[in-house]
Amino acid sequence: MKRRVLLVFSLAAAFALSLPLSPSLWAGDPPAADVYKSASCACCGGWEAHLRAAGFTVRSHIVDDVSAMREKLGMPQGYASCHTAKVGKYLIEGHVPASDLRRLLDEQPEAIGLAAPGMPVGAPGMEFGTPQDYDVMLVIRDGEARVFQHHSAR
Ligand SMILES: [Cu+2]
């Protein structure tokens, strides 16, 4: 418990320290995002548009079986959403905001990647209805994850 609090605190501190440096840290182009989704997924397209607007190059890949592709890529099924993306060495599951993706790429933690499990209303690409609170998880390995960023609906 203590370790977890310390970890959260040090991450918050690291994030705060990195803020003024962010523009210079982000000098290069971000890696391209390869997005694996089904042909009928409209909200996946919404998320891709969000990434493009944030400066990412997006390559869409239509697959018949999104779940099988998730398995193949290595994102644990417990964090499943509607699409799985590969960005650099990381996997991104679901409607993860570009700001979290950039922070992940800046910090380069040892992890599988990020996941916004399910389909949280209000997340990028899911802008309809009443927004809800949701957590973006840092998936370290199968069965081990922690909150990377909490997103409040307000
Ligand atoms: Cu979706």
pLDDT at 48 over 80: yes
Band (50; pLDDT cuts 50, 70, 90): very high
Give pLDDT tens digits for 83-135: 999 999 999 999 999 999 999 999 999 999 999 999 999 999 999 999 999 99
Name the pLDDT band for 3 (thresholds 50, 70, 90).
low
Q: How far is the CA of 149 from the centre of ligand 1 (A)?
A: 18
- Beta bridge partner(s), residue 145: 139
All residues at 6 or more sequence positions from 112 whose CB lies less than 8 Å from its CB, including other chains? 74, 75, 76, 90, 91, 139, 140, 141, 142
Q: Could you tell me which CATH class the domain 25-151 is placed in?
A: alpha beta
Give the span between the Cα atoms of 109 and 7, in whole angstroms: 12
What pLDDT is attached to residue 23? Answer: 44
Q: Are 124 and 131 in contact (CB under 8 A)?
A: no
- Ligand 1 centre to CA of 43 (Å) is 4
Find residue 141's DSSP bridge partners.
Answer: 144
What spacing in Å lies between the alpha carbon of 120 and ligand 1's midpoint? 8
Question: In whole angstroms, what is the distance from residue 116 CA to residue 148 CA?
Answer: 10
Closest CA to 56 of 27, 87, 83, 84: 87
Q: Which amino acid is at 7?
A: L
Overall average pLDDT of the 24-40 stretch = 81
CA dihedral (115, 118, 121, 124) in degrees, to 10, reads 30
Confidence of residue 27 (pLDDT cuts 50, 70, 90): low
What spacing in Å lies between the alpha carbon of 20 and ligand 1's midpoint? Answer: 32
Nearest to 30 by CA among 96, 103, 114: 103
Distance between Cα 106 and ligand 1 center (Å)? 25
pTM for the model? 0.81
Neighbours of ion ligand 1 (CB under 5 A): 43, 82, 119
C-alpha 141: how far from chain center = 15
